[in-house]
Each structure stands twice: as structure tokens, then as C-alpha cells.
Amino acid sequence: MGMGNPLLDISAEVGQDILDKYDVKMDNAILAEEKHVPIYKELVDNHSPQFIAGGATQNSIRVAQWIMTANGKSGQSAYMGCVGTDQFGKQLEECAAADGVKVHYMKDESTPTGTCAVLVKGGERSLIANLAAANNFKPSHLETAESKSIYESASVYYIAGFFLTVSVDSLKIVAEHALANNKTFCLNLSAPFIIDFFGDQVATALEYADYLFCNESEAAAYGKKHGLGDDLKEVALKIAASPKKNTVKPRTVIFTQGSESTIVACNGKVEAHAVQPLPKEQLVDTNGAGDAFVGGFLASLLAEKDVSKCVDAGHWAARFIIQQSGCTLSKPCEYKL
């Protein structure tokens, strides 16, 4: 089960002029400020964008279910978040359902569904999220009978760090359930701004994490903020050894590094798992690569595979997604768990 910020991606190829105009960097993710508001209309009016179901956690759950469905395990996933009662919300629900995910959205009649501007240049991406309704998820949604039956029947939970700006109380309800029942709780640090500006929320969530995911820029930001040095293998080991509520199972820390090796740390040991490079001409865009990695990893984890097999599934899923525009699952999955 995933819980996060459901967003409709408005994805377009742009030039450096747009990046400069809105003061954004490639391979980064930020929340929209006042100065970014016009970009959504500008993309629609001038850049023939694609509208793609997004939101980091929702992407990961869709990819995990896509892989599980291909391996004879349909209907094994669920997702919660908050949307508006508009066309975009309906589009998100239809897309997730088409991928076999049970969605149980909280619906906010007064606020539009959130959107994310995905600026693609040379295969790299920059994200500007306008959370809108996604920002209004409340713990009360988890008190409904349907929500309870969903999260109580799950065995693995995944929440991206982006949700830490929305409702830490909701995260704690799910994380406490996982802890009390010795289930698996997974967290992603998601973006450098989460680490830099939501440190207390990250610290709260991290104590519950049995698996922690992030990419190299987030790992570096965490290492810098907490004085852990700049050797990412050391940073991974230190995060793996940091305080944890469930002492029955050790924490596994996974740092993806694009086409460089993925770092995995657990129980005082650290390994690097090589990534099979993709020829540059086959790269469409990197939007959703990290989400897809987590999706592959989670599908393999649910199939009770060891961590190296989970990483392999993650690499395969990320490699598939970067050959698509955004997190689109255009054909049946060929990966065998």
C-alpha cells in the first residue's frame, strides 16, 4: 500500500529559456511558488504537453502492480491520497485503476487536483509540483472502514518523502500499524528540499523505515546536513545504523545513482550493484526513473526475493521507464520475478 500526493504530470520538452525564466535546475524537484504559477498554462498553450498520471508514490505502486500482474498476482496493491472532484482527478483514478491499483482517494470538493510541471531537456527532467488538493489529505480519511481494511490487509507500506510536507500524522498512523504488526515500512527521501527544510518530519519518519530509498543528490544533501561526510557508502551505512523503532529487522538503505552503481547498506555491510547502461539514443526522459526503481524493488520484495534480486528488478523497471515519456506503462511487463 502506498500513500502520497496524486498529481497529474504536465510534461513537455522545453529549452533553457524556460528553465532560466522560472529559475529551475535539471534533475531537481521543488514545490511551486508564486513565480512558478504561470508555467502550467504556458506549457499547455505553447508546448503541446502530455498529461500523464503522476505523483511519486502512485508511480511506484503502479509499476509494482504492473510487474506483479505479469507474474500472476493481480490486485495486490492499493493507494491513497487526496484529489479534487474534477477531470484531472478522474483521469488519475482511471489511469491507476487501468494499471490494476485499488485507489481510495480522499476527495476535496473545494480544491483542484494537484499538477506537476515536468520540464524535459536532453532526457533529464525538472519537476515543479503544485500540490493543490494533494496538500489536503487528512488522518480522518484513514479512519473510514474502507481505509482501515486496505491498510490492515497490506504487508508492505511505501510513502515518499514528498508526503512529509502534507500529513506526518497520517504517515504515523500507517507506520505505527506496520510497527505493531511487524510489517515492512518503506520511505523515500524524495528531494533535497525535503531534507533541507523538513528535517524534523524526516527524522520522525526515518525511525519507522525498514527500507530507505533516495538518489545520489538526496543522499549527498542528507550527508551534508547531518555531518556524515561525502562518501555516500559511509552515509548509507550511518543511516542504516541510525535509531529505529522496529529492532526486530535491520534497516536497509538504498541509494540509486542514475547510470552509476546502486549502493545498498545493511547490518554494517555495504555493496554496490552495477547498472546496465542504456545507450543515449534510447533515453526518452528520466522522469519516473526513481519511482520505477522503487516499484520494481517492492514487487520483488513482496515476492520474498533477496535484496540483490530486488535491486535487479528495480534496475529493470527504471530502464524500461526512461525509454517512455514519464511513468507510462505502455505494454505488458516482461520481467519475471
pLDDT digits (tens, 9 = 90+) for 104-136: 999 999 999 999 999 999 989 999 999 999 999
Give the Cα-Cα-Cα angle 87, 34, 119 (nearest 5 degrees).
65
pTM of the model: 0.95
Residues 266 and 69: their CA atoms lie apart, in Å, by 30
What crossing angle do the helices spanning 216-225 and 232-240 adopt, rounded to 10°? 70
Percent of the chain whose pLDDT exceeds 90: 96
* pLDDT tens digits for range 201-251: 999 999 999 999 999 999 999 999 999 999 999 999 999 999 999 999 999
DSSP conformation class of 110: T
**Residue 230 is among the residues annotated as catalytic for this protein:** no
Residues 6 or more apart in contact with residue 267 via CB below 8 angstroms: 240, 250
152 has a pLDDT exceeding 90: yes
Can you give the pLDDT at residue 42? 96
Residue that has been written with the C-alpha cell 530509498 in this structure: 213
Can you give the pLDDT at residue 325? 87
103 has a pLDDT exceeding 90: yes
Can you give the pLDDT at residue 137? 98
Local structure of 24: helix, strand or coil: coil
The residue annotated as part of the active site, out of 9, 108, 210, 291, is 291
Largest CA distance in the chain: 54
Can you give the pLDDT at residue 249? 96
Can you give the pLDDT at residue 330? 87
Average pLDDT over residues 51-80: 96
Quick one: how far is CA 93 from the chain centroid? 17
* pLDDT tens digits for range 272-303: 999 999 999 999 988 899 999 999 999 999 99
Rounded to the nearest integer, the mean pLDDT of the chain is 96
| Of residues 48, 11, 78, the one with CA closest to residue 321 | 11
Can you give the pLDDT at residue 326? 85
| Three cell numbers written together for 18 | 524556460
Average pLDDT over residues 4-31: 95
DSSP conformation class of 325: S
Q: pLDDT band at residue 55, thresholds of 50, 70 and 90?
A: very high
Can you give the pLDDT at residue 129? 96
